[in-house]
Amino acid sequence: GEIRKLDEVVVNRIAAGEVIQRPANALKELLENSLDAKSTNIFVNLKNGGLKLLQIQDNGTGIRKEDLPIVCERFTTSKLSKFEDLTTISTFGFRGEALASISHVAHLTIVTKTSNNQCAFKAQYVDGQLKGPIKPCASNQGTQITVEDLFYNVPMRSKVLKSPTEEFVKIANVVGKYAIHNPSVGFVLKRQGETVSDIKTNANSSYVDNIRAIYGDSIAKEVFEIEHEDDILKFKMHGFITNVNYSTKKQVFILFINNRLVDSTALKKAVEQEYSIHLPSGGHPFVYLSLTLDPKNVDVNVHPTKHEVHFLHEDEIIESARKAVEAKLLGANR
């Protein structure tokens, strides 16, 4: 047949569908934006596992009115100005793609207020473009992003994501992990119409408070703090792990690298192996680790759906981390 170039809107929609594969992907990007904006309270409201409604309200810096017309275009970001920034960037996320992608596969509304403005502004977007005028409205400082009818224009996606319950569990998982990692920020996760929140942590709580709030008292009572610094490899590690005598029902392995929730199969394996040596009965540990590496050494170009992360001197850093876990486990076992 005749070869034709695809319509730009269709091309963008396909690209967006690859970035945003399910509600939890969208939520993770929105959470990271709220954290980048220095929010201290983040409120997530869901309907049908985020498929019908995914709303996030923060009390961060807000978006300037003059930025609203372009904020949902691809590759627009306030977090990167020069090419060199690519190697030193320490904020989250995929550069300037999250809001654009979401606006191509859902109805997106932003209500935002900066400290410089008397009132808030409301803007709606379709396919990356502003739809209608920007309207003044009343709201507190911060940003509210409302994502409605996710994948309404991607029938294949909606068919695959049949279970709102499954999507809800994935979202709760992401929110819970960010809550543990950010004890200075208060998180609330609520389903529309429900009076009781599914997750609630307070601003300025402790790590252990949040582990208790998310994973329960029995784990919170058993965790040990682990701290490790390697001057030669120039990295730091901080976290909470259960000791060798305590076993959780299901394995929990939470890893943040430079404040981003990621997977590292190699690091997970190394830690698991330590537990299998020192916990021969074969229980499941709870492990939350946060690594801070030189941003120059982390591959920031990871695609948002590929959570597996790689970094320079990976083998040496993992070995150093493993030894620190081993020392902690041996110490805790005495």
- At 182 the three-state DSSP class reads coil
Token output for 173: 């998982």
What is the distance, to the nearest Å, from the Cα of residue 260 to the centroid of all Cα atoms in its chain? 7
CA distance 286 to 295: 27
Residue 33 CB, nearest distance to Mg ion (Å)?
4
Dihedral sign, Cα of residue 141, residue 183, residue 43, residue 111: positive
Output the smallest distance, CB 116 to ligand ADP, in A.
Answer: 13
Q: Which residues bind Mg ion (CB under 5 A)?
A: 33, 93, 98
146 binds ligand ADP (CB under 6 A): no
Max CA distance (Å), the chain: 74
Q: Which sign does the torsion angle of CA 117, 35, 198, 202 carry?
A: negative
| 143, 182, 205, 259: residue in contact with ligand ADP (rule CB under 6 A) | 143
Among 17, 69, 89, 95, binds ligand ADP (CB under 6 A): 95
How do the residues of the chain divide into helix, strand and coil, expressed in percent and rounded to 5?
Answer: 35, 25, 35
Binds 78, which of Mg ion, ligand ADP, none (CB < 5 to 8 A, cut-off by type)?
A: ligand ADP
Q: Would you say 37 or 325 has its CB closer to ligand ADP? A: 37
Nearer to ligand ADP, 37 or 161 (CB): 37
> Between 61 and 124, whose beta carbon lies closer to ligand ADP?
61
Site map for ligand ADP, 172-211, x if CB under 6 A? ----------------------------------------
Binding-site member from 19, 24, 31, 37 for ligand ADP (CB under 6 A)? 37
Q: How far is the CB of 39 from ligand ADP (least distance, A)?
A: 7
Window contacting ligand ADP (CB under 6 A); options: 12-20, 47-55, 71-79, 317-325: 71-79
Rounded Cα distance, 151 and 130, in Å: 19
Helices assigned H by DSSP within the chain: 8-19, 23-36, 85-88, 98-105, 155-160, 164-181, 207-215, 217-222, 265-278, 314-333
- Residue 77 site contact among ligand ADP, Mg ion, none (CB < 5 to 8 Å, cut-off depends on kind): ligand ADP
Please tell me whether residue 285 binds ligand ADP under the rule CB under 6 A: no
User: Could you give the count of Cα atoms lying within 13 Å of 28 in the half-sphere of its Cβ?
Assistant: 25
Binding residues for ligand ADP, rule: CB under 6 A, are: 29, 33-34, 37, 58, 60-63, 71, 77-79, 93-100, 143
